[in-house]
Amino acid sequence: MMATSYSAKDEDGHITVSGPGAGTLRSKKPENTAFKQQRLPAWQPILTAGTVLPAFFIIGLIFIPIGIGLYVTSNNIKEFEIDYTGVDMSSPCFNCSQNYSWNSTRPCTCTIPFYLETPYESNVFMYYGLSNFYQNHRRYVKSRDDSQLNGDVGSLQKPSKECEPYAYHENRPVAPCGAIANSMFNDTLELFYNNPNGTKLQIPLTSTGIAWWTDKHVKFRNPGNDPNLTAAFQGTTKPVNWRRPVYELDSDPENNGFINEDFIVWMRTAALPTFRKLYRIIQKKNSMVPTLPRGNYTLEVVYNYPVRRFEGRKRVILSTISWMGGKNPFLGIAYMTVGSVCFLLGVVLLIIHHKYGNRNNSADISN
Amino acid sequence: MAFWRRNTHVEKERRVKANARDHNDRFAYADNHIKTSKYNILTFLPINLFEQFQRVANAYFLVLLILQLIPEISSLSWFTTIVPLVLVLVITAVKDATDDYFRHKSDQQVNNRQSQVLIRGSLQNEKWMNIRVGDIIKLENNQFVAADILLLSSSEPYGLCYIETAELDGETNLKVRQASTVTSDLGDLSKLMDFDGEVMLVTLRNASRGFLSFSVFMLVKVCGLASAVNLHLFMPCPSGEVICEPPNNKLDKFTGTLYWRDNKYPLDNEKVLLRGCVLRNTEWCFGMVIFAGLQTKLMQNCGRTKFKRTSIDKLMNTLVLWIFALLVCMGVILAIGNTVWENLIGQSFQDFLPWNVYQRNAVFSGFLTFWSYVIILNTVVPISLYVSMEVLRLGHSYFINWDGKMYHRRTDTAAEARTTTLSEELGQVEFVFSDKTGTLTQNIMVFSKCSINGQTYGDVYDEFDQKVEITEKTPCVDFSFNPLCDRKFKFYDVSLMEAIKLEDPVVQEFFRLLALCHTVMPEEKSEGHLVYQAQSPDEGALVTAARNFGFVFRSRTPETITLCEMGRSVTYRLLAILDFNNVRKRMSVIVRDPQGHIKLYSKGADTIIFDRLDPSDEDLMYTTSEHLSEFAGEGLRTLALAYKDLDEDYFEVWMKKLLFASTVIENREDQLAVLYEEIEQGLKLLGATAIEDKLQEGVPETIARLNLADIKIWVLTGDKLETAMNIGYSCNLLRDDMNEVFVISGYTVLEVQQQLRNAKERILGLSRVTSAAGDVGKTDVLADDSVFEETLIAEYALVINGHSLAHALEPQLERTLLDLACLCKTVICCRVTPMQKAQVVELVKSHKRAITLAIGDGANDVSMIRTAHIGVGISGQEGMQAVLASDYSFAQFRFLQRLLLVHGRWSYFRMCNFLCYFIYKNFAFTLVHFWYGFFCGFSAQTVYDQWFITLFNIVYTSLPVLAMGLFDQDVDDQYSLRYPSLYKPGQQNLLFNKRQFFLYTLQGMGTSFLLFFIPYGAFSLLVKEDGSHFSDQQTFAVTIATSLVIVVSVQIGLDTHYWTAVNHLFVWGSLAAYFAILFAMQSDGLFYIFPRHFPFVGTARNCLSEKSVWLIILLTAVVCVVPGVAVSFLRIDLFPTLTDKVRHLQQSRKKQGPQAQNLRRVRRTSSRRSAYAFSHQQGYGELITSGKNMRTSTVSPAHSPDGTPHGSSWMDNMLKRRNEVSCVSEEKSIRAPESANRHTQPPQLDVESV
């Protein structure tokens, strides 16, 4: 058991140890630097009552006002939500939701009246919301070809394998390929203001400016430099579920093809199964008149998008926004809660510290 | 390692013909080329990769990588696993390559050593690697044996030769090997040729010239073929052939047969020199190579380098398995979830997301999902952990190497961490096993004081009669009048010199005695340059003292001793040496001075001498006795000196009786003892000497500190009981205020057993009285000693000698021994062999779950150093064996406190903090995916960007935690030393254990929960400030990732106790790097180049410009961190540990500035112990009077003609003694004190000011 760990060097046995007189040899004395001697100047914080308790109070004092501010702001935001899935027999869209088929040529339309109790000042944002829709499923998320969407001609003709089974249809490449594109939301929503005088006034909806600038200008590009999109998408076929090819999504060339904003919005997959996406913006016309005055409105839906099979829901949301975005009571409440808890914790700790704490805890060090 | 050793055919026996390469080549025996390196340039990559993938962690990640290549499973891009894996592999490979490079170099160096080989009748220099089996090689003194060789002949009579086998078994004592009688006279080349079986082809012309021709001629003659000398010679000779066992690794066995001249001669281990031995005290020897290179016993024994693993390593392995189990659990849960989800929702969601071809049903989908989640969640099993731990340990080792306070100026030795794998275990040591000589003591005996005729000398007094402390600056006595003096000898009391100059007869007689009564061998290398070879350093010190005071022992013959007394040469006739032994505890010489007076000089243990004094000396005896007490109280080793004038006639009669007695066969020893006793009566007391066994610097303080840190120190020494105990007292291991010191010295198993049991019962009995106050029921519950151990207040010590230890280490007693030993504060084992040292360590190691450390300086400590968890070698001393076997080495025992209490403690502290944080971080990072699973249809969708997953561990969070693991200090080094109790948490495993692991896992889980659910709450309704929708996955990913990076950075900030500039740089740098990389990865440019790999383009810009996102991040960070802060604040405030208190103190001190230091003194003991300074065995007397050992002083290697029939037996005796004394090298045995720093002042824990 002795002569284990043998290395040839050990055999030497006598490594010369330079004696004290070996002045020519460099001394083996380690350098006396703060780093090597582990004496680097350092800040050594300690958790003491003097630092922790004020921190708690400060957090409390900062968080509570923020929370209140957020909560108030959020409450001031006006939001109106209509579920038009058509689950109930009474729902105007019930019929449409029942007789649904992807291939039906005749669009099913339903009309939903609603009443806005308060006028909506400034710009109003119109969202569609889907529930129980798993846009975040792994197979769904990866089923796209960013290269193709970025206008790469090669990828247009030869979509990525990730797009399967929506990469090719009838031996022609699908543009845009993949499950996300294929399942694009295709209900058409129109909003009418019912004038008290009986006329029905269509509210103009802006369909541009709803996507991120980076998406529209960087991430999504139409293939080729050909302004004629029909030619650019030559040789491809539309996604199976689509009624129109991608180059006919909009008449505006700046909003057509891959850079169609509805399409871009859809392609930005949601994080959670319940989500809303911006559909249209109702621009404020002038400062005198509210964008959406109080009154009766009608929502006209061209019901194309089937969600009943997986118990999904479809909603339309009208909302104003504030400095912090849309209506979001969660953050305000969370801030107020956390702030109060911190403050309370500070109080409790203070009491504990005063009653039982070891303020003078270095006195009784014993060995 | 075992690749090349696997021979295709198994060798059944080995046949070697002497010097017949052609013949031997047929067997294809291994040549003497050794290779300890593993790789060459071509094989490095495949072999190294193969080895690396044998590690479980790497193999695991390889499997993951393969899984990722399956598209149905792959939930992560290939690069997320491969980047860390490649990084880990590269770092390890670079380390392996450097290691192997050095092995190559050392191999090369060894292979290229020169050796003399008999080739074609002449000695030629050959490289070691060219030596073949069957070659006859010549070795010279102090050379390493190149291969396993059969000893043929040597310069010594009877073909004896001496070897040191330290490399093989760790023993430095010389061993004797003897050549077979038939070969032992093959002392020169011509005769050797006779043995040589080489088939020669030599031209006659050639043969007519030079030496070669002579040998050839001889050969020819011997072979009886002289007539056949024509133009060419071609002559097969009757050469020696050895048939022996095949190569094996048994160091102590060899069987073989030598065939020569039609006769068979048996061969055994005594005739074989093994590779790795060193030839000592033998001018030269010839040998025939039997095993070479990798087939030598040394090489067969090596290779199985015991890889020491730390306890944290082992714990980590278990924990990694647990983590793995947890991973599988989570995978199963999520897979079941997936099955359910696919059944309930996925099936009906097929309009938008059809099942693909592989997805035949939901169960199969679940199965695939399991693997996908295994891939995603793999980051809980920390791949970079092992590499990071290596890096930390490497750093910690460097800090040890760099420590200026562990540098010893006199020997110019810095501390060295020779292994880089054990650093944190230094913080957990519970048992220290220390060698004595050379480790605790300097093995320098210094003549420090004496009492002559009732007058003490040695102390220095100032003008006010106050004792002056002797320091380096104290002027010492000038011995320049004496040309023969030893310049290294120092003495400070001038009065003794004055007494000599006054020619005080008693003083003269005193030193004459010291110069005459000993068994030292002088060696006068050049005129006036005397070197003494003493049996024990004590004797050397005494003779040297006499030499300096003008009574120079100059030379001796068997019958005479020549002194140079005050410049005059005086020759005494040596009439008898009445030698020392352990019973007599004294030695005497009878000499006849030039005037014809016969005198008996005697020195010995005080009690023994005092019993034999002339009654008239009683007064002097009392005075001297007082002085002796004083000396002993200072820890000095004392001897009493006495003389007697002998009557001529009486002596004649006595001498005749002695001669008669020495020839009888029966009871010779007893009869001699009686005769000695008879003549050593009525002595006249001269005085007493006091020798200081110099302790190493700072030993008592170090031991006191280590004791305070609850480290048990066991001294394992080869010294005798008294010496060991004496040292025990002087270095505070034994104290007078101890309740009891048990001495176990039984000669039979039963005796030992009885003594052990008695001692144990006494301890338990006493503590029962003290602790179990009246509770009758409790006293019966004694079964568990460990409980009792803690309740012991009393202090005990155990001293056990080698004999008893041999018995006590037998299986039936070892438990008892261990129990008893653990009840004692101090354990001293004396007279232990190297093997026993290892056994003791092994005993503790196997029965106690404690970390052991062995420290020693000599080759006899090698076994124990290798056995212990941590081996420490004292470097800068004699041999390097201990250092080479050790894990850490430094020059002085006192550095041990710094190694353990500072470096060990820090390493442990850092490593634990590092591990806790690492686990926390990985859980916080990874488990977010688990929560997300419930909201993404259990589809193994990742929360984060793939790049983030790739870089999180290796870029965003690695450096701050490494900086913490390298630089963190809770308490600085001075406070660590001042409060040794700070060391205890390490021994109790408090900083990282399964409980801590759970706590940190929980914290990590909690953090991941909050990290996911706070953004979840916010994101269900999040809208950008421009109204565009915002609750998309990429924003979600960036928000959570940013929160995560901030939270873990804040957490590392809170966990860091010592914020150096490096910490700041790394923490802030990592955050900055995160944001920089985040924006870079999501920039337009990268997206244009690789649109498929950087789909997150623009997300960071859109997301991090939103106030609401920052509000979410702030909220998340606060919520994640605050509970931890509150809990740790409460813990510190309500239940502060010692560390917290000392930290507090340290900080308040720092604010107040330096304060007056408070010194705490360790009580210095002083008690009367008789400690006689003698060696440990029968003296050399017999050898001197017989003149047999005089050969050692002569340089001539010529055969000593006095090889009497009993020669080998005295040779053995001498060898035995010599190794006991270990006085082989002269400068060791007699070395005057180099520093006059005496330990007279009470040792104290000097506390430096802050």
| B1060 CB within 8 Å of a chain A CB | yes
* Whether residue B435 lies in the annotated active site: yes
Residues B726, B658 share a domain:
no
Output the six-digit token pair for B1107: 């106030």
Size of interface A-B (CB pairs under 8 A): 393
End-to-end CA separation in angstroms for chain A = 41
Residues of A in contact with B405 (CB under 8 A): 37
Decide if A224 is inside a domain: yes
Residues B939, B833 share a domain:
no
Consult the annotation and say whether B718 binds a ligand.
Answer: yes
Q: Please determine, for residue B141, whether its predicted confidence score (pLDDT) is greater than 60.
A: yes
Mean pLDDT of A309-320: 89
Q: Which of B26-30, B790-794, B878-882, B1143-1147 has the lowest mean pLDDT?
A: B790-794
Decide if B1055 is inside a domain: yes
Of B644, B675, B694, the last residue of a domain is: B694
End-to-end CA separation in angstroms for chain B = 52
Q: Which residues on adjacent β-strands are paired with residue B1161? A: B1244
Q: In this predicted model, what pLDDT tens digit does every residue of B655-688 receive, in sequence order?
A: 888 888 877 777 778 888 888 888 888 888 989 9
Output the six-digit token pair for B816: 């008892």
What percent of chain A shows pLDDT beyond 70? 88
| A7 CB within 8 Å of a chain B CB | yes
Q: What is the pTM of this model?
A: 0.79
Does the distance separating the beta carbons of A334 and B1125 come in below 8 Å?
no
Query: CB-based burial of residue B695 (10 Å sphere; 0-12 exposed, 13-18 middle, 19+ buried)?
Result: buried
Q: In this predicted model, what pLDDT tens digit does every residue of A221-270 receive, in sequence order?
A: 888 877 788 888 888 898 988 888 888 888 888 888 899 999 999 999 99
Consult the annotation and say whether B482 binds a ligand.
Answer: no
Q: In this predicted model, what pLDDT tens digit does every residue of B1130-1161 receive, in sequence order?
A: 888 888 888 888 888 888 887 765 544 443 44
Residues A235, A343 share a domain:
no
| A36 CB within 8 Å of a chain B CB | yes
Q: Contact, B233 vs B216, CB < 8 A?
A: yes
Decide if B189 is inside a domain: yes
Identify the residue among B1029, B1054, B1088, B1134 best suited for mutation to test binding to A, counting A beta carbons within 10 A and taking the highest: B1029
Distance CA(A200)–CA(B767), nearest Å, equals 102
Q: Which residue in B has a C-alpha nearest to residue A145's C-alpha?
A: B1092
Residues A161, A73 share a domain:
no
Decide if B918 is inside a domain: yes
Q: What is the pLDDT of residue B410?
A: 84
Of A321, A344, A362, the last residue of a domain is: A321
- Name the 3-class secondary structure at B756: helix
Determine the structural domain holding residue A346 and report its residue range: 51-77+336-354
Residues B888, B869 share a domain:
yes
Q: Which residue in A has a C-alpha nearest to residue B275's C-alpha?
A: A11
Residues A109, A63 share a domain:
no
Decide if A70 is inside a domain: yes
**Position of tokens 């230890």?**
B805
Consult the annotation and say whether B637 binds a ligand.
Answer: yes
Q: In this predicted model, what pLDDT tens digit does every residue of A265-294 receive, in sequence order?
A: 999 999 999 998 999 999 888 777 888 888
Considering only CA atoms, which of B13, B29, B34 is closest in space to residue B302?
A: B34
Of chain A residues 158-177, which have a CB less than 8 A from chain B? 160-161, 164-165
Output the six-digit token pair for B977: 């030393």
| A219 CB within 8 Å of a chain B CB | yes
Distance CA(A107)–CA(B1102), nearest Å, equals 37
Residues B826, B931 share a domain:
no
Residues B968, B1005 share a domain:
yes
Of chain B residues 698-737, which have a CB less than 8 A from chain A? 708
Q: Please determine, for residue B1039, whether its predicted confidence score (pLDDT) is greater than 90.
A: yes
Q: Which residue in A has a C-alpha nearest to residue B1107's C-alpha?
A: A324
Evaluate the omega torsion of the peptide bond into residue A165 and state whether it is cis, within 30 degrees of 0: yes
Distance CA(B349)–CA(B30), nearest Å, equals 73
| A354 CB within 8 Å of a chain B CB | no
Consult the annotation and say whether B663 binds a ligand.
Answer: no
Consult the annotation and say whether B436 binds a ligand.
Answer: yes
Of B864, B899, B934, the last residue of a domain is: B899
Q: What is the pLDDT of residue B153?
A: 85
Half-sphere exposure of B449 (CA within 13 A, CB side): 27
Distance CA(B1244)–CA(B1201), nearest Å, equals 60
Consult the annotation and say whether B132 binds a ligand.
Answer: no
Count of domains observed in chain B: 4
Residues B470, B574 share a domain:
yes
Q: Please determine, for residue B1234, whether its predicted confidence score (pLDDT) is greater than 60.
A: no
Q: Please determine, for residue B1189, whether its predicted confidence score (pLDDT) is greater than 90.
A: no
Residue A259 has a CB neighbour count (10 Å cut-off) of 24
Considering only CA atoms, which of A328, A329, A332, A322 is closest in space to residue A125?
A: A322
Output the six-digit token pair for B1208: 């080998």
Count of domains observed in chain A: 2
Decide if A366 is inside a domain: no
Of chain B residues 837-896, which have a CB less than 8 A from chain A? 838, 862-863, 866, 875-876, 879-881, 884-885
Q: What is the pLDDT of residue B875?
A: 80
| B230 CB within 8 Å of a chain A CB | no
| A277 CB within 8 Å of a chain B CB | yes
Residues A343, A218 share a domain:
no
Residues of A in contact with B251 (CB under 8 A): 2-3
Of chain B residues 490-549, which have a CB less than 8 A from chain A? none
Decide if A317 is inside a domain: yes
Q: Which of B106-110, B174-178, B989-993 has the lowest mean pLDDT?
A: B174-178
Q: Is B1238 or A317 the better-scoring residue by pLDDT?
A: A317
Of B644, B670, B694, the last residue of a domain is: B694
Residues B879, B1017 share a domain:
no
Phi–psi pair at B445, nearest 5 degrees:
-100, 130
Q: What is the pLDDT of residue A190?
A: 92
| A26 CB within 8 Å of a chain B CB | no
| A261 CB within 8 Å of a chain B CB | no
Residues B1015, B875 share a domain:
no
Q: In this predicted model, what pLDDT tens digit does every residue of A76-109 receive, in sequence order?
A: 888 899 998 888 888 888 888 876 666 666 778 8
Measured torsion, CA atoms of residues B78, B80, B86, B91, in degrees rounded to the nearest 10 = 180
Residues A94, A66 share a domain:
no
Residues B192, B66 share a domain:
yes
Of chain A residues 133-152, which have a CB less than 8 A from chain B? 133-141, 143, 145-147, 149-150, 152
Residues of B in contact with A278 (CB under 8 A): 1023, 1027-1029
Q: Which of B435, B579, B606, B945 is catalytic?
A: B435
Q: Contact, B806 vs B836, CB < 8 A?
A: yes
Residues A291, A280 share a domain:
yes
Q: Which of B94-108, B786-800, B838-852, B1128-1142 has the lowest mean pLDDT?
A: B786-800
What percent of chain B shows pLDDT beyond 90? 18
Q: In this predicted model, what pLDDT tens digit does every residue of A34-57 receive, in sequence order?
A: 888 888 888 888 888 888 999 999
Output the six-digit token pair for B831: 């007279």
Q: Please determine, for residue B1104, whether its predicted confidence score (pLDDT) is greater than 50.
A: yes
Residues A286, A194 share a domain:
yes
Q: Please determine, for residue B1198, whether its predicted confidence score (pLDDT) is greater than 50.
A: no
Return the CATH number at B270: 2.70.150.10
Residues A305, A262 share a domain:
yes
Chain B nearest CA to A327, separation (Å)? 7
Considering only CA atoms, which of A324, A262, A153, A355 is closest in space to residue B1025?
A: A324
Residues A344, A285 share a domain:
no
User: In which region does residue B503 sit, left (phi positive, over 0), alpha (psi from -120 to 50) or beta (all else)?
Assistant: left
Decide if B379 is inside a domain: no
Q: What is the DSSP annotation of B991-1019? A: SSSHHHHHHHHHHHHHHHHHHHHHHHHHH
**Position of tokens 């021709």?**
B213
Residues A275, A144 share a domain:
yes
Q: Please determine, for residue B474, whether its predicted confidence score (pLDDT) is greater than 70.
A: yes
Within its chain, how far is the Cα of B479 from the centroid? 41
Distance CA(B1035)–CA(B945), nearest Å, equals 10
Consult the annotation and say whether B748 binds a ligand.
Answer: no
Considering only CA atoms, which of B200, B250, B196 is closest in space to residue B16?
A: B196
For the ranges B323-327, B674-678, B798-802, the maximum mean pLDDT occurs at B323-327
DSSP code of B917?
H
| B937 CB within 8 Å of a chain A CB | yes
Residues A134, A173 share a domain:
yes
Q: Which of B305-319, B728-742, B768-782 has the lowest mean pLDDT?
A: B768-782
Q: Which of A14-28, B57-71, B305-319, B725-739 has the lowest mean pLDDT?
A: A14-28
Residues of A in contact with B166 (CB under 8 A): 13
Residue A136 has a CB neighbour count (10 Å cut-off) of 23
Q: In this predicted model, what pLDDT tens digit does every residue of B359-399 receive, in sequence order?
A: 667 888 889 899 999 988 988 877 778 888 888 998 999 99
Decide if B496 is inside a domain: yes
Q: Which residue in B has a C-alpha nearest to residue A345's C-alpha?
A: B1126
Residues B733, B633 share a domain:
no
Mean pLDDT of B616-621: 86
∠ CA A70-A76-A80, nearest 5°, is 120
Return the CATH number at B883: 3.40.50.1000
pLDDT bracket for residue B264 (50, 70, 90): confident
Distance CA(B1023)–CA(B470), nearest Å, equals 85
Largest Cα span, chain A:
114
Identify the residue among A10, A70, A356, A360 best suited for mutation to test binding to B, counting B beta carbons within 10 A and taking the highest: A10
Q: Please determine, for residue B924, whether its predicted confidence score (pLDDT) is greater than 90.
A: yes
H-only helix segments in B438-584: 494-501, 505-516, 537-548
Chain A nearest CA to B37, separation (Å)? 9
Decide if A258 is inside a domain: yes
Q: Contact, B836 vs B867, CB < 8 A?
A: no
Does the distance separating the beta carbons of A30 and B402 come in below 8 Å?
yes
Q: Which of A340-354, B414-428, B992-1006, B1140-1154 has the lowest mean pLDDT?
A: B1140-1154
Of chain B residues 942-1001, which have a CB less than 8 A from chain A? 967, 969, 973, 979-981
Chain B nearest CA to A316, separation (Å)? 13
Decide if B566 is inside a domain: yes
pLDDT bracket for residue B960 (50, 70, 90): very high
Residues B616, B476 share a domain:
yes
pLDDT bracket for residue B268 (50, 70, 90): confident
Q: Which of B330-334, B512-516, B557-561 has the lowest mean pLDDT?
A: B557-561
Decide if B1143 is inside a domain: no
Q: What is the pLDDT of residue B207?
A: 37
Chain B nearest CA to A203, separation (Å)? 18
Q: Is B226 or B89 the better-scoring residue by pLDDT?
A: B89
Return the CATH number at B594: 3.40.1110.10
Distance CA(B1174)–CA(B586), nearest Å, equals 8
Decide if A313 is inside a domain: yes
H-only helix segments in B26-142: 44-54, 56-68, 78-111
Residues B929, B821 share a domain:
no
Determine the structural domain holding residue B722 and report its residue range: 409-439+696-769+794-899
Does the distance separating the beta carbons of B941 and A136 come in below 8 Å?
yes
Considering only CA atoms, which of B863, B837, B806, B871 is closest in space to residue B716?
A: B837
Q: What is the CA radius of gyration of chain A?
A: 33
Residues of B in contact with A283 (CB under 8 A): none
DSSP code of B645?
E
Residues A171, A104 share a domain:
yes
Q: What is the pLDDT of residue B1186?
A: 62
Decide if B1235 is inside a domain: no
Q: Please determine, for residue B726, whether its predicted confidence score (pLDDT) is greater than 50.
A: yes
What percent of chain B shows pLDDT beyond 70? 82
* Interface confidence (ipTM) of the complex: 0.92
Of chain A residues 74-93, which have a CB less than 8 A from chain B? none
